[in-house]
Structure 1
Amino acid sequence: MDCNEARPLLDANADHELPAPDAQRVQQHIERCDACQRESENLHTLSESLRAAPYHRAPASLRARIVAGLPGTDDAIAMTTQVPAGAAVKPPPLQRRWLAWIDSWLNGWRGPQGGFGGLGAAVGSNRLIAQGWLAALVVWLCAVAAGVTLSLHRPVEFAPFADELVESHVRAQVSGRDIDVISTDKHTVKPWFNGRLDYSPPVEDLAASGFALEGGRLDYLAHQRVAVLVYHYRKHVIDVYVFPEAGTGGTGRSTDGAAPATLAREGYSISHWNAEGMTWWAITDAAPDALSGLEAALKARLQGGERTEGG
């Protein structure tokens, strides 16, 4: 262990909070490092000073102000302030837990080893600091609640596949190998997939609709090889991933009713649909309208029976 590893552990070591193996390694380093030894001694001195420091009970007015700001405690406060002297009143369980936490914090609760947990005693009597800590706690709880809410509204099962789709598209563009076979004439792209896949993807050139077929490539998505058709729309590239609807593992689960038909992710537009027994996923940096137009043109070509295998 060197200084970079030992320094972050010196505080916990001074309070005897490290597991035995880590504590032994830190102690061995301290014995042969003068700088870390001095730092450790300073921490031990500070810890002992804190243990010896007197406790100052926070005034009742501070406790009442903090409790008054907690949710759902108004009734309990009213009960505890209006009942006759000597009457025993217990707040509800949730409120009792809040009150116990406030009492222990304001009165300088010590950790099991009496370490820096006692620092709460020094700040317990300062109302401004106490209010600041309470405000920070409320902000943190609100942030956690917001994060949970966003997670619940996010299609969790679909998210990993969408991430993989974006990574595949970006990887192809950055590498400069977004096309394995160039569409130079009719019957070029579709035959190229023969023997490279266990299925035959439909291939259509939609240049008449503004989507020129530039070529195709193989990619690996959701633990399987898939065909990718590369179209150009104005100055944008559209990657269209094609694979059978059934028996597609993770991608098959992503094409059920729970997956949105269109969405935006990391600045990219993504769309999916089913046609000719295949599932089609399209991604581009163009506006979502481009994918809607490509989908309509492709479906019209397939349903119209004007198949031109290749490009």
Structure 2
Amino acid sequence: MDCNEARPLLDANADHELPAPDAQRVQQHIESCDACRRESENLHALSKSLRAQPYHRAPDALRARILAALPQGDGAVREPTAETPRATAQPRPKWSWLGNWLNGWLRPQGAMGRPGGGVVGSGSGSAIGQGWLVALVVALGAVAVGVTMNLHRPAPGGAFSDELVESHVRAQMSGHDIDVISTDRHTVKPWFNGRIDYSPPVEDLAANGFPLEGGRLDYIGHQRVAVLVYRYQKHVIDVYVFPEARSGDAGREAAAGPSVAQTREGYSLAHWSAQGMTWWAVTDAAPDALSGLEKALKARLAGGSEQTEGG
């Protein structure tokens, strides 16, 4: 098993989800590969940290207030008891899922309220409780709307740039930023055959300080695109390349400004056109790094290496 086979299995291996033969093969590879071993150790540490996080149960007083606000009578949300077994329990109203969800979320280890798990509160107390429920729902709705608007608030600039930054960050956080690991363009370029319907130009720019590390597929702008992964010192540079004819939002956004590097949420981006392709590059390095990469790549492509080497 090599890195290309092992990388997609590291997550499942860390969570003990692989069959024994596959787990053994992955473990044997990890023991012989420093890069995959470090990645596996990071995944195990993350999994352990998530499992160690505390579970916070809602206070009993809050549970009591919400349960008291649930409608009584025909609209009551009651659990079956010895007196009202499940087979003869009243049909639940269409909003009973709210009561079920709240009851399950708020229930402590021991039952609260009336004997038999009944709902606390009735009469005028229920009317007051309904007011609490309405206030709680309104407050939760306001919080949800505020959080959603904040998460989806567009940053200055184009939506495509935001999508590229999200793709780059997601790849780095997942640890699966490379599907085909190789510094040889004759290995990386053929890997895309059959996976996308175009052939991206691939160049190794190690002589210019930007060694090729491999490539991957991503889904950007409603299409599958090739991503070439380069390294500059200790920084990863993702280069997204696709035909100009289908650039869509990417092409319109690129046409809206000059081919210069820009910054977005601390990340540098640059775009340009060459050999009928639209190129976008994203990195956490300084914008000058992308300017150097663009210059070196255009020089190699203009030199005709794609044609003279047989692509």
Say which SS state the counterpart of residue 297 (structure 1) adopts. Answer: helix
CA drift of 1:254 comes to: 2.7
- Taking the TM superposition and a 5 Å limit, the aligned residue runs for 1:179-218 are 179-185=178-184, 187-218=186-217
Q: Go from structure 1 to structure 2 and tell me whether the alpha carbon gap of 1:172 and 1:203 turns closer, same or farther (over 3 Å shift).
A: same
Contact 2:196 2:225 in 1 (8 A): yes
Cα distance between partner residues in 2 of 1:217 and 1:210: 21
Contact 2:188 2:202 in 1 (8 A): yes
User: What's 1:154 paired with?
Assistant: 156
Q: Which runs of 5+ in 1 are unaligned?
A: 8-20, 26-31, 45-150
Q: Percent identity?
A: 66
Cα distance between partner residues in 1 of 2:231 and 2:65: 56
Q: Which runs of 5+ in 2 are unaligned?
A: 1-63, 70-93, 99-118, 132-152
Say which SS state the counterpart of residue 197 (structure 1) adopts. Answer: coil
CA drift of 1:225 comes to: 0.6
1:225 matched to 2:224? The reply is yes
Cα distance between partner residues in 2 of 1:200 and 1:281: 16
Counterpart residue type for residue 162 of structure 1: S
Contact 2:178 2:216 in 1 (8 A): yes
Cα distance between partner residues in 2 of 1:306 and 1:181: 21
Say which SS state the counterpart of residue 171 (structure 1) adopts. Answer: helix
Contact 1:204 1:310 in 2 (8 A): no
Q: Deviations over 1:74-99 (max 9, x none)?
A: xxxxxxxxxxxxxxxxxxxxxxxxxx
Q: Go from structure 1 to structure 2 and tell me whether the alpha carbon gap of 1:6 and 1:285 turns closer, same or farther (over 3 Å shift).
A: farther
Instruction: Pick the aligned partner of 1:4 from 53, 66, 70.
Output: 66
Cα distance between partner residues in 1 of 2:155 and 2:274: 29
Say which SS state the counterpart of residue 242 (structure 2) adopts. Answer: strand
Cα distance between partner residues in 2 of 1:42 and 1:205: 68
Say which SS state the counterpart of residue 189 (structure 1) adopts. Answer: helix
User: What's 1:272 paired with?
Assistant: 271
Contact 1:197 1:225 in 2 (8 A): yes
Q: Deviations over 1:195-243 (max 9, x none)?
A: 2211111111110110000111111111111000000100010000000
| Count of paired positions | 186
CA drift of 1:253 comes to: 3.0
Counterpart residue type for residue 296 of structure 1: K
CA drift of 1:166 comes to: 1.3
Q: Go from structure 1 to structure 2 and tell me whether the alpha carbon gap of 1:3 and 1:182 turns closer, same or farther (over 3 Å shift).
A: same
CA drift of 1:306 comes to: 3.8
Q: Go from structure 1 to structure 2 and tell me whether the alpha carbon gap of 1:153 and 1:164 turns closer, same or farther (over 3 Å shift).
A: closer
User: What's 1:34 paired with?
Assistant: 121
User: What's 1:131 paired with?
Assistant: none
Contact 1:183 1:310 in 2 (8 A): no
- Taking the TM superposition and a 5 Å limit, the aligned residue runs for 1:104-123 are none
Say which SS state the counterpart of residue 246 (structure 2) adopts. Answer: coil
User: TM-score by structure 1 length?
Assistant: 0.50
User: What's 1:236 paired with?
Assistant: 235
CA drift of 1:5 comes to: 8.2
CA drift of 1:258 comes to: 4.8
Root mean square deviation of aligned Cα? 3.9
Cα distance between partner residues in 2 of 1:259 and 1:35: 69
Pair member with larger Rg: 1
CA drift of 1:250 comes to: 3.2
Contact 1:236 1:286 in 2 (8 A): yes
Cα distance between partner residues in 2 of 1:213 and 1:152: 33
